[in-house]
Amino acid sequence: MSDATVSAVLLTLKVASLATLLTAVTAIPLARFLARRSGPHIQLLYALFSLPLVLPPTAVGYVLLQLLASDGAAGLTLFGLPADLLLTWQAAVIAAAVMSFPLVLRGAKATFDTLDPRLEAMGRSLGWSRRRAVIKVTLPLARRGLLAALILGFTRAASEFGATITVAGNIPFQTQTLPSAIYAAQQLGRDGEAVTLIVVALLIGLAALLGSEWLVWRTTRREDKR
């Protein structure tokens, strides 16, 4: 494998990991919030947060392009971020996080929907604050579903292309991830490199899926003993 290929693989793992972390801390609390409430406004919120799932990735990329540019509509410099995130690996993280967010959100909400909210209330009645009751009761019970949702989110983030290439570009050693490296190799007619990259992508995806299956199997076996 060339240095550029190794760099693309490492950057993909870094981007996907950070994007998964970002979605974990945002999508999971939001999923719990949505699962505990009902009504048209909640359904509307749920639909809005799920939009990246149904929009073309390039459309999401375009919106992000407007937001992340230093002269963009949202002016992200206000939040203390670098003046211009475009064409940086951080932009790739944000794009991957936005694209995988709905998958994690939907998986986590489906998990929380199956839990009896009275158990969390019971935890509070026994002396734990709302936050601690979530940590002591809800999260351990939701562990398996949340794990599956996060692994799905990770694989989605690792394979993200459309939005990522729009905001982060395809600069070798800087912003080139596996999917964009495959695209570049194919465009330049380097079929051998493309096949190598595809095999690596396949191995990463397979490892994530098998890891997910193994974790689910282990948790199921432990729960069956209960």
Partner 1 sequence: MLSFAVNRPRRPFALSVAAELEAGITGICGPSGAGKTTLLETLAGLRGGTDRLLLQGRSLVGAGDRLRPEQREAGYVPQDGRLFPHLTVRQHLAFGPPRRRSDEHLTNRVVELLQLTVLLDRYPGRLSGGERQRVALARALCSRPAWLLADEALGALEASLRGRLWRELRSLLVELELPVLWVSHDCSELQLLCDHLLVLSDGRLLGQGEPLPTLARYAGFALSEGPDRGFHATWPGVLAQDAAGGIAVDVGGLAVQVAGGPAGVGVGAPVHLTIPADAVLVARGDPGVTSARNVWSAEVEALDEDAAGTTAWLRCGAKVPRLAARLTAAAVAELDLTPGCRVYVLVKSSACRVLAA
Is the Cβ of residue 66 or residue 222 nearer to partner 1 in the bound state? 222
DSSP letter (8 states) at residue 69: S
Count of alpha carbons within 13 Å of 187, Cβ hemisphere only?
7
Is the Cβ of residue 10 or residue 135 nearer to partner 1 in the bound state? 135
225 in contact with partner 1 (CB under 8 A): yes
Task: Find the shortest distance in angstroms from Cβ 115 to partner 1.
Answer: 10
60 in contact with partner 1 (CB under 8 A): no
37 in contact with partner 1 (CB under 8 A): no
List, in sequence order, the alpha helices (H) in the chain.
3-35, 40-49, 51-54, 57-68, 89-114, 117-125, 130-133, 139-158, 162-168, 178-187, 191-224
The alpha carbon of 176 is separated from its chain's Cα centroid by a whole number of angstroms, namely 18
Number of amino acids touching partner 1 (CB under 8 A): 22
Please list every residue from 111 through 140 that binds partner 1, using CB under 8 A: 116, 118-119, 121-130, 132-133, 136-137, 140
8 Å CB contact between 49 and 105: yes
Q: Which residues bind partner 1 (CB under 8 A)?
A: 116, 118-119, 121-130, 132-133, 136-137, 140-141, 223, 225-226
